[in-house]
């Protein structure tokens, strides 16, 4: 009887996690294959770098209005439509690998769809998963993401041995169609109640403008929640900026060989997987405020060790520490976010703040790239790690404040 109750309790979360897992593995296969296709076509690292710029540009474009759309439509139906649309675009990509501008256009469209999918899935998950189950769900999702980080490249390598990178692109398209099929089995969480009063509004510039005002008013009334959100988002932006110099730092400053750098990446994968496993096993004993604060600080400590490394061993330790700690920080943040943002506006808040985060990624990554040329890579990576540590210590202090415990009680 108890077993039956557990099965019923986890039936839909398990199906959802299965769909997320399929999609995550497919995304890694697509990501690596696309980089190789563009490099083989052009022989230009700059052409490959353009792929990394397209994603935040697509996020900027989509997130201006995406949340307004997501909060006004049925989330299950939209997730299915977005999976199918993305799968169709990726299928087209597999047959248009001879024209660079066509690849860039399709990648831009694929990333627009991906930018819409993110707030849609957050809204759906928040509606589907009860508060007391979210921390466990998010820890399992983190485990799946880490597994995809290891499994995706391994599958891609095998596909390259069996054929061309095109096969890997097609595999990702199939994974998205499978994800859409899995989502069909999920419950319609909005079937028995109206979406809300905004669902009947037609999308227009004035409606989008009003939605931005709603987000600003919510942020003003919930300064603590949005302060945690802002600090964590800035922490993520700093990670992106430092990561953009990771290869150059490893090879030019620490003087690692290609094989040593490859091993360093493998260590990071092992760290993510082990951290995720620990997170899943001990999640009941880990409070959300501890996960956000301590997890973020330990990620920063890992970056500090890496930034001040003088040899391969120190760099390895730094990579393992930051990768191990990421699962804890991300699980804590997503649980806190889902428990403190009203589900009726969660997509709009996610989109608008995601727009600002993407803008900061572009600006800060560009500044780091220019600074690395004008100053030095070592100085930029060190400054990034130091600012990251200061930021996460501030996050730790406000997350552990006794007077703010009420924001975490429902999730702990």
Considering the domain architecture, whether residues 238 and 148 belong to the same structural domain is answered as: no
The answer as to whether 406 is a domain residue is no
Between CA 249 and CA 244 the distance in angstroms is 10
Considering the domain architecture, whether residues 65 and 110 belong to the same structural domain is answered as: yes
| 3-class DSSP string for 64-121 | CCHHHHHCCCCHHHHHHHHHHHHHHHHHHHHCCCCCHHHHHHHHHHHHHHHHHHHHHH
**How many domains are there within the chain?**
2
- Per the structure block, which two tokens stand in for 192? 């028995």
pLDDT at position 225 is 92
Between CA 339 and CA 64 the distance in angstroms is 24
Considering the domain architecture, whether residues 84 and 163 belong to the same structural domain is answered as: yes
Between CA 32 and CA 77 the distance in angstroms is 29
Indicate whether 339 pLDDT > 60. yes
pLDDT at position 71 is 85
Last residue of a domain, one of 186, 208, 239: 186
Mean pLDDT on 12-21: 81
Considering the domain architecture, whether residues 149 and 40 belong to the same structural domain is answered as: yes
Considering the domain architecture, whether residues 126 and 236 belong to the same structural domain is answered as: no
SS3 content of the chain, % helix, strand, coil (to 5): 85, 0, 15
* Spatial CA neighbour of 345 closest among 132, 126, 112: 126
Indicate whether 45 pLDDT > 70. no
Considering the domain architecture, whether residues 144 and 22 belong to the same structural domain is answered as: yes
Q: Dump pLDDT digits (tens) for 119-147.
A: 898 889 888 888 888 888 888 888 887 77
Model pTM score: 0.83
Range of 227's domain?
222-399
Residue with tokens 């500044």: 367
The answer as to whether 194 is a domain residue is no
Considering the domain architecture, whether residues 50 and 120 belong to the same structural domain is answered as: yes
Q: Dump pLDDT digits (tens) for 385-406.
A: 999 999 999 999 999 888 888 8
Considering the domain architecture, whether residues 177 and 238 belong to the same structural domain is answered as: no
> What percentage of the chain exceeds 70 in pLDDT?
91
Higher pLDDT, 89 or 46: 89
What CATH number has the domain bearing residue 272? 1.20.1250.20
Considering the domain architecture, whether residues 132 and 281 belong to the same structural domain is answered as: no
Query: Binning pLDDT at 50, 70 and 90, where does residue 3 land?
Result: low
Cβ-based neighbours of 6, under 8 Å, separated by 6 or more: none
The answer as to whether 408 is a domain residue is no
What's the Cα-to-Cα distance from 167 to each of 90, 91, 341, rounded to whole Å?
A: 11, 10, 41
The answer as to whether 412 is a domain residue is no
Considering the domain architecture, whether residues 122 and 239 belong to the same structural domain is answered as: no
Considering the domain architecture, whether residues 104 and 18 belong to the same structural domain is answered as: yes
Cβ-based neighbours of 40, under 8 Å, separated by 6 or more: 165
Considering the domain architecture, whether residues 121 and 245 belong to the same structural domain is answered as: no
The answer as to whether 106 is a domain residue is yes
Mean pLDDT of all residues in the chain? Answer: 84
Calculate helix-pair angle for 45-63, 2-42, nearest 10 degrees. 130
The answer as to whether 204 is a domain residue is no
DSSP for 287-304 reads -HHHHHHHHHHHHHHHHH
């Amino acid at each position: 009887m108890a077993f039956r109750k557990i099965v019923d309790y986890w039936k839909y979360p398990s199906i959802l996690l299965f769909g997320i897992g399929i999609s995550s593995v497919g995304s890694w296969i697509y990501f690596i294959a696309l980089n190789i296709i563009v490099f083989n076509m052009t022989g230009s690292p700059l052409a490959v770098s353009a792929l990394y710029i397209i994603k935040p540009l697509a996020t900027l474009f989509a997130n201006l209005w995406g949340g307004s759309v997501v909060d006004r439509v049925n989330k299950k139906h939209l997730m299915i439509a977005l999976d199918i649309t993305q799968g169709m675009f990726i299928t087209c990509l597999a047959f248009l690998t001879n024209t660079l501008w066509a690849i860039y256009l399709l990648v831009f469209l694929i990333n627009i769809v991906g930018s819409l999918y993110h707030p849609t899935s957050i809204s759906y998950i928040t509606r589907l998963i009860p508060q007391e189950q979210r921390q466990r769900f998010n820890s399992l999702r983190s485990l799946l993401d880490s597994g995809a980080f290891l499994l995706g490249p391994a599958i891609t390598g095998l596909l390259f041995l069996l054929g061309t990178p095109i096969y890997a692109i097609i595999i990702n398209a199939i994974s998205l169609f499978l994800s859409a099929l899995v989502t069909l089995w999920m419950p319609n969480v909005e079937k028995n109640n109206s979406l809300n009063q905004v669902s009947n509004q037609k999308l227009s510039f004035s409606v989008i403008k009003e939605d931005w005002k709603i987000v600003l008013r919510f942020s003003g009334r919930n300064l603590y929640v949005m302060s945690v959100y802002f600090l964590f988002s800035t922490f993520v932006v700093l990670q992106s900026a430092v990561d953009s110099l990771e290869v150059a730092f490893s090879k030019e400053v620490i003087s690692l060989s290609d094989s040593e750098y490859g091993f360093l990446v493998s260590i990071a994968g092992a760290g993510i997987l082990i951290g995720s496993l620990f997170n899943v096993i001990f999640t009941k004993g880990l409070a959300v405020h501890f996960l956000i604060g301590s997890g973020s600080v330990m990620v920063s400590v890992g970056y500090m060790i890496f930034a001040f490394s003088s040899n391969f061993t120190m760099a390895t330790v730094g990579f393992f520490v930051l990768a191990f700690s990421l699962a804890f920080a991300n699980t804590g943040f997503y649980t806190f976010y889902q428990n403190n943002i009203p589900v009726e506006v969660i997509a709009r808040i996610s989109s608008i703040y995601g727009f600002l985060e993407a803008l900061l990624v572009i600006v800060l990554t560009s500044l780091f790239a220019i600074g690395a040329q004008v100053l030095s890579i070592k100085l930029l990576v060190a400054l990034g790690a130091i600012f990251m540590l200061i930021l996460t210590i501030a996050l730790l202090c406000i997350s552990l404040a006794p007077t703010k415990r009420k924001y975490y009680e429902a999730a702990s």
